[in-house]
Amino acid sequence: MTDLLTIDYLRDYLLVGAALFALGMLGFLSRRNLIVMFLSAEMMLQGTALSLIALSRYHGNWNGQVFTIVILTVAACEAAIALALIMILYNRRASLDITLWHELREEAAPAVVPALEEAATAELVEAIEGPETYPSLTPAGLEPEHPIQPWTERRR
């Protein structure tokens, strides 16, 4: 690690990192698709990692880089668990919409998305025979369709 970053380079790196982080957070907060939210969370992690690496290079010690490697490992584990969870959730409601899952709210509190109240309390769909289809991403910028897609949608 002989050639340290100059302050100008550092600034650029940090800007990119911050932008990644901010975009990720924005995505996490605004999108309702579980997979997109997961990807946004990953993006926030990458933004942080980039800042760490840049600062590590700037200061000339390895801590930031080591830390980044740990972050990558954790992110891999998290991806495995999160995707598995998303699979289970999708199988229960046949949709990736996050707002279908708000059972943890206070009972007295009103449902935030009234239209979904009915959907959330609807009977869980039963699994049917045959090869399963897998969830697909909703195109970016489009609102997911409501209420629940019929089960046949999975076979599309």
Binding site for other proteins (CB under 8 A): 25, 28-30, 32, 37, 98-99, 101-106, 108-112
Least Å distance, CB 72 to other proteins, is 22
Cα 98 to Cα 40: distance, rounded to the nearest angstrom? 14
Q: Are 43 and 20 in contact (CB under 8 A)?
A: yes
Least Å distance, CB 122 to other proteins, is 17
User: Which residues are CB-contacts of 100 (< 8 A; sequence separation ≥ 6)?
Assistant: 93, 116, 119, 120, 148
Least Å distance, CB 60 to other proteins, is 26
What's the half-sphere exposure (Cβ side, CA atoms, 13 Å) at 98? 13
Least Å distance, CB 132 to other proteins, is 26
Closer CB to other proteins, residue 98 or residue 119?
98
Cα 25 to Cα 3: distance, rounded to the nearest angstrom? 33
Closer CB to other proteins, residue 44 or residue 50?
44
Closer CB to other proteins, residue 2 or residue 104?
104
